[in-house]
Structure 1
Amino acid sequence: MDRRLFLRSAFVGVGVATLSGVVLEAASAVPAQPGASPYGSLLAADANGVALPTGFTSRIVARSGQTVPGTSYVWHAAPDGGACYPNGSGWMYVSNSEVSGSGGASVLRFDSAGTVTSAQRLLSGTSSNCAGGATPWGSWLSCEETSTGRVWETYPATGAAAVARPAMGRFTHEAAACDPVRQVIYLTEDRTDGCFYRFRPTTWGNLATGTLEVLCASASATSGTATWQTVPDPDGSPTSTRTQVSAAKHFNGGEGVYYANDTVWWTTKGDNRVWKLNCATNAFELAYDDSLVSGTAPLTGVDNITGSSYGDLYVAEDGGNLEICVITPAAVVAPILRLTGHNSSEITGPAFSPDGSRLYFSSQRGTTGSSSGGITFEVRGPFRT
């Protein structure tokens, strides 16, 4: 079978379990290096302030503090991590709100033509909901980025009441990614001395109980074989989860995390790295490190990460020059879009529609530099699928 046909059939077969696609290979053993984008050079910014390659277009689907067109719902401030889900003949895009003391999450629902049909609040009364992750059973895990932060399970399709999942640990949560093969959920921690965790539910699909584990390896190693040890007290009080296991490996500012096909990738913003773990063997290595590139690093301020069914990774910048960069299976890194006029913002929540033709993301503070100025975009074009 042709490689692309195989990837496409695999993507259709797993459905919501992967959401953004099935990555069968990406970021080879040598950390990615700058090169030509598979989509060509960026053109001048369009009317929405988005610089894109030929054949791509952008539109704004929501603005913080304003009613979402076609609905009566006012979009939340400081949009952050996000994910897409199938929804009948259409799809949904979920987005967190990274506001201290009053964060939460919301959902946009689209019909088959891409028209917004409804929008709804999924979670309220939480704090600094930064990123999170989608589950194979269709819920969204919204993560609080506070020292005692929790993971909240929300339900985009129905809008049912969100449920806190304290067994997943109380720490400075950033993002989550589900591994249905090993039936675990990987978790990042946004601290300069943060850890990389996995949660093993007692019953897959039920996050009420389970075991929290932390990745252990040599402190300075950038490759090797990791082990996992149980975190004795996931509540993190009085001793933080990251300091309970002496062998735990610490990472400088854990951000996005993405899983596909026995591999999990996660980013660390403090050192501009993308890490890669073979989940079957526990071998880890660097997929990208801006200090190891030849010439000027195209990707800095690494943050949220997602992937496509083709095998490409897409990494958003918090800083740098406000780009989303692609890391190809051939380990080439290059920008695929850039925001102009958003100098005090960051790009958040990249996620592909189920068919891979639309990329959603937000500028958390827009052109105003304020959390009330967030803008959520959709980009359409010939993405590799």
Structure 2
Amino acid sequence: MVAGIAGPFAGVACAGAQGGAKAAPSGYGSLRPVRDLRDGKVRLYLPEGFKYRSFSTAGEKFSDGSTVPGRHDGMAAFSGPGGSTILIRNHEVNGSVGAFGDKERAYDPMAGGGTSTLRVTRYGEVIKSGPSLNGTMMNCSGGPMPWRAWVSCEETVNGPDVADDFSGGDNSRLTEKHGYIFEVPVGRVATARPIRSAGRFPHESAAFDPSSGAIYLTEDNFGFPSGFYRYLPPKHPVLAGKLLDGGRLQMLAVKGAKRKDLSLGQEPGAAYATEWVDIDDPDPDFRGKPSNDEVVQAVGRQGRAKGAAIFSRLEGAVFHQGTVYFVSTQGGDTDPADPPPSGFGKGRGQVWAYETWSGRLKLVYESPRASALDLPDNVTVSRRGTLVLCEDGEGDNYLRGLTRSGQIFDFCRLKPIPDDPGAEFAGSTFGPGGHTLYVNVQAKQGRSIAIWGPWERGLF
């Protein structure tokens, strides 16, 4: 372990890991029910002065007349013409349910996931919308790239060569292997070519380091250990103008501690020196249609055999000022008052920071209890450097802020949906200039939401 944490978030690990962190005042005031400017219904609880409008709900029509799919998930915002915002949004649809949009363009015409691209105003009014990647599966999160592209990640390893997964879908109907990352250019339909060298595993998020050209990748392996990866493309993507296949995949390890289990509760101020181990076969071939449980661990086991570190359910990731911040959804210890979640990892969440320039890994925050932070998922960062965490908890779900001084605060609460207890926040991203926070509600009838108000009054 490396002693001493300096710089941003220096005090956070001490507060969180000691179990004494409590929700801090947000500077915006208490949350209250606010009506959606779309239809007058209350969907969110927000501080006074904030407004919102929902848009592009599942089942509605895109501009081209095709139907908006559900399971809205990860998302990124880019500047558009005339002060508009271009959003690229994932749809985490599983199973062999058939592609949305134009099936002739689909990677796999039987797979129902992908991305949609929308041009909207900063008040959530849709100007134009349509499919931009289809025929993929379980597109969970990803990450924005500075060459004006979105990398979308498949959180699955389904395919015709693998036995059916937990969802009960029929993999024999699929025509292509899944479990890859795909590039979606802003303003154009994607080529739907997977980056196979970046691995076939349950991908979650992608964060780009402009200095090295590396893509840092998280893995959300629900029932098994997860890893933190980086993909080193054969040419710097900014110079190439796109992300190229044929690079090298590596997995993070703690120096001097083979297979270090970081999913467990951490000491205050935990920090580690790290190294990277190569994945020799990032896209393995399978014969005899092995079980989904076997295939979902095939890449990670290679890394752990060389000493790679163990995490619990790595989900959201974002790059900011030389550091990749990423969340471990079920990492940490379990408070006796909180029943442990199902799956691998019994905590309520950790936030980690990997310094790309030093190779040092630091614990940023460890949730002491569900009421402080409950199963963090997608993450973004504000102009002030405050992290915005989307919760995927078992009770009320919040958008919570984690400040540079280590304070957790509540910014927004999702009104419970009576017939959909699994509804959650996903895909938070600030639009150009920081006027609007766009976020998705992943639900039976998913929707996107634009939130705006007096940001300057608080910590975002």
Q: What band does the TM-score fall into relative to the shorter chain?
A: 0.7 to 0.9
Judge conservation of contact 1:27–1:327 (CA < 8 Å) in 2: no
1:48-96 C-alpha deviation (Å, 9 max, x unpaired): 310001111111111101125x774532211111110112332211111
* Residues 1:76 and 2:106 aligned together: no
Judge conservation of contact 1:87–1:157 (CA < 8 Å) in 2: no
* Residues 1:348 and 2:426 aligned together: yes
Q: Quick one: which amino acid aligns to residue 167 of structure 1?
A: S
Structure 1 counterpart of 2:231, from 174, 193, 199:
199
Counterpart of 2:253 in structure 1 is 216
* Residues 1:99 and 2:93 aligned together: yes
Q: Distance in 2 between matches of 1:237 and 1:196?
A: 22
4+ runs of 1 displaced by more than 6 Å?
none
State the Cα distance separating 1:376 from its structure 2 match. 1.2
Let me know the Cα RMSD of the aligned residues.
Answer: 2.0
Q: Distance in 1 between matches of 2:371 and 2:272?
A: 25
Q: Quick one: which amino acid aligns to residue 374 of structure 1?
A: G
1:4-25 C-alpha deviation (Å, 9 max, x unpaired): xxxxxxxxxxxxxxxxxxxxx7
Counterpart of 2:279 in structure 1 is 231
Counterpart of 2:454 in structure 1 is 382
Instruction: Mark the CA change 1:261 to 1:252 in structure 2 (over 3 Å): closer, same or farther.
Output: same
Counterpart of 1:7 in structure 2 is none
Percent identity over the alignment? Answer: 30
Alignment of 1:126-205 (within 5 A): 126-147=136-157, 148-191=178-221, 192-205=224-237
Structure 1 counterpart of 2:409, from 312, 334, 341:
334
Judge conservation of contact 2:154–2:179 (CA < 8 Å) in 1: yes
Q: Distance in 1 between matches of 2:27 and 2:49?
A: 13
Judge conservation of contact 2:325–2:351 (CA < 8 Å) in 1: yes
Counterpart of 2:366 in structure 1 is 289
Instruction: Mark the CA change 1:162 to 1:258 in structure 2 (over 3 Å): closer, same or farther.
Output: same
Judge conservation of contact 1:155–1:161 (CA < 8 Å) in 2: no
Judge conservation of contact 2:85–2:431 (CA < 8 Å) in 1: yes
TM norm structure 2: 0.72
Moved more, 143-152 or 71-80: 71-80
Counterpart of 2:47 in structure 1 is 53
Where 2:455 maps in the other structure, the secondary structure is coil
State the Cα distance separating 1:113 from its structure 2 match. 6.9
Where 2:448 maps in the other structure, the secondary structure is strand
Q: Distance in 1 between matches of 2:75 and 2:425?
A: 11
TM norm structure 1: 0.86
Counterpart of 1:248 in structure 2 is 308
* Residues 1:264 and 2:264 aligned together: no
Where 1:376 maps in the other structure, the secondary structure is strand
Q: Which has the larger radius of gyration?
A: 2
Structure 1 gap ranges (5+): 1-24
Q: Quick one: which amino acid aligns to residue 376 of structure 1?
A: S
Counterpart of 1:28 in structure 2 is 10
Counterpart of 1:22 in structure 2 is none
Q: Quick one: which amino acid aligns to residue 230 of structure 1?
A: D
Q: Distance in 1 between matches of 2:449 and 2:381?
A: 17
Judge conservation of contact 2:55–2:125 (CA < 8 Å) in 1: no
Structure 2 counterpart of 1:280, from 354, 357, 360:
357
State the Cα distance separating 1:354 from its structure 2 match. 1.2
Q: Distance in 1 between matches of 2:285 and 2:355?
A: 32
Counterpart of 1:359 in structure 2 is 437
Structure 1 counterpart of 2:132, from 122, 128, 135:
122
Q: Quick one: which amino acid aligns to residue 357 of structure 2?
A: A
Where 1:163 maps in the other structure, the secondary structure is coil
Q: Distance in 1 between matches of 2:214 and 2:314?
A: 18
Q: Distance in 2 between matches of 1:67 and 1:181?
A: 41
Judge conservation of contact 2:113–2:139 (CA < 8 Å) in 1: yes
State the Cα distance separating 1:114 from its structure 2 match. 5.5
Judge conservation of contact 2:233–2:245 (CA < 8 Å) in 1: yes
Counterpart of 2:374 in structure 1 is 300
Q: Distance in 2 between matches of 1:277 and 1:340?
A: 34
* Residues 1:67 and 2:104 aligned together: no
Moved more, 339-348 or 329-338: 339-348
Where 1:242 maps in the other structure, the secondary structure is helix
Counterpart of 1:10 in structure 2 is none
Count of matched residue pairs: 351
State the Cα distance separating 1:38 from its structure 2 match. 2.8
Where 1:244 maps in the other structure, the secondary structure is helix
1:23-44 C-alpha deviation (Å, 9 max, x unpaired): xx74334325331113222123
Instruction: Mark the CA change 1:113 to 1:337 in structure 2 (over 3 Å): closer, same or farther.
Output: closer
Q: Distance in 2 between matches of 1:126 and 1:150?
A: 9
Counterpart of 1:315 in structure 2 is 389
Structure 2 gap ranges (5+): 1-6, 36-40, 95-110, 158-177, 238-242, 287-296, 332-348
1:119-139 C-alpha deviation (Å, 9 max, x unpaired): 010111111111111111111
